Amino acid sequence: MKKIAVVGCTGAVGLTMLELLENTDYAVECMASARSAGQTLKVGSRSYLISEFSVEACAACDIVFLCVSGKFALQYGRQLSESSFVIDNSSAFRYEPDVPLLVPPVNGAAYQGEKLIANPNCSSAIALMVLGPLHLAYELDSLIVSTYQAASGAGKPAMLELVENTKHFSDYGESNSSSNFPYNLAFNVIPQVDQFESNGYTKEEMKVVWEVRKVLACPDLPISTTAVRVPTLRSHAESLTIKFKQPVNSLSAVRALLQRSPGVEVIDRPDEKRYPMPMTSTYKHAVEVGRIRHNLIYGDCGLDMFISGDQLLRGASLNAFEIMQLVSA
C-alpha cells in the first residue's frame, strides 16, 4: 500500500485531492502549517488528524503532493524528491528542463521515472485534454485562447467572497470591497489573473503559452492568451481558436476523435441547446468540449470551439491524482 502525503490539505485543491483519495487504498497523511496541525479533517467517510509539515514525515511517504505556495515548493521540492516522488501543484518547477510537466492522458508516455513532477496550471491542464488528441491528429500551427475563469482558482476564501459579494450587490445594488481579487467580482469580469509580465501579458496568460508548448513538445508553437476572471464558482471555460497544419475535413471525425479521448466529453448539439457550460462541468471528471465549427478565418485548417472543466478536479487535483497513479504503477 502506497503512502501519500497531502501537504496543504486544508486548501481547495488539497481537499479535492482528499475527496479523490477517499475510495482508494492509498494511505494518506494530511499535513499543513502549525496553525492547522492537531485539527481533525473529515472528508467523506474518512477522518484525518492533521500533522505539521516536516521533511522527515514526508520522507516516510512514497508520494508527496504539494498544494502549497510556489515559494514553499521552491524551498522544499527538490529536497523532498530525494526520498519520495513529489508532485508539485505550484508553478515553481514547471519550466525547469529536468522536471516533467505531465497531463497523463496527453504526455504520460513521455514520463521516465523522474522523482519531481510538476502539475500544470488549471487553464493549461483543461485545454490540453482537448488540444492533445487534436495535435496528434492534425498538428497545431497556432492557438488563440480567451478564458472565462472561476473564483476557485484564487482559493477557497475567494469562492466564499464571490458568494458574499454577490449577495451584498443583490441586496444593496452596489459593490463592496474584495480581498481575493483585484476588484469585486460580483456581476463583473476582471481581465487580470495573476501578476503582469513585462510584455503586457499576465503570468496566467504566459503559463498557458509555456505549458501548452512544453506538454505538446512544441517549443515554438505560436500561442496568444487572454485570461479573464468571471463570476463562476469552480469551473473554467475557454474559447479556443486553433489553426492546424493539416486540413480538418470532417467535423464528425473531430467529434468522434475527442469522444474516444480519455477525460473528454463531447457536448455539441446546438440544435438541442447542448454545449459546454460551468453549470454542467462542475464536479465532472471529464472536460466538456462543444461549439466545434470551422473557423471563419483559417477555413479547413481552423477550428473554433468552447470547453469547460472543473478547475479543482481536471484543472488541479484530478490531474495530480492521475500523475500519482502513473508513478505508483
Q: Residues 207, 124: contact at Cβ < 8 Å?
A: yes
Least spacing, CB of residue 308 vs a copy of itself, in Å: 8
Nearest to 142 by CA among 33, 216, 234: 216
Alpha-carbon distance of 174 to 243, in angstroms, equals 43
The dihedral formed by the CA atoms of 191, 117, 321 and 142, expressed in degrees to the nearest 10: 40
What is the side-by-side order of every strand in the sheet holding 235-244? 223-226, 140-148, 235-244, 302-310, 287-294, 264-266
Output 90 or 184, the one with its CB closest to a copy of itself.
184
Which residues in the 260-279 window bind a copy of itself by CB under 8 A?
270-271, 273, 275-279
Nearest to 119 by CA among 249, 311, 252, 281: 311
Least spacing, CB of residue 318 vs a copy of itself, in Å: 21
Which residues in the 158-187 window bind a copy of itself by CB under 8 A?
162-163, 166-167, 170, 175, 182-184, 187
Alpha-carbon distance of 287 to 12, in angstroms, equals 19
30: annotated active-site residue: no
122: annotated active-site residue: yes
Least spacing, CB of residue 211 vs a copy of itself, in Å: 14
Output 221 or 318, the one with its CB closest to a copy of itself.
221
Least spacing, CB of residue 145 vs a copy of itself, in Å: 9
- Asked if residue 220 binds a copy of itself (CB under 8 A), the reply is no
Four-residue CA torsion sign, 125, 130, 133, 138:
negative
Q: Point out which residues bind a copy of itself (CB under 8 A).
A: 142, 144, 146, 148, 162-163, 166-167, 170, 175, 182-184, 187-192, 196, 199-201, 209, 222-224, 226, 228, 230-233, 237, 239, 241, 251, 270-271, 273, 275-279, 290-297, 302, 304, 306, 308
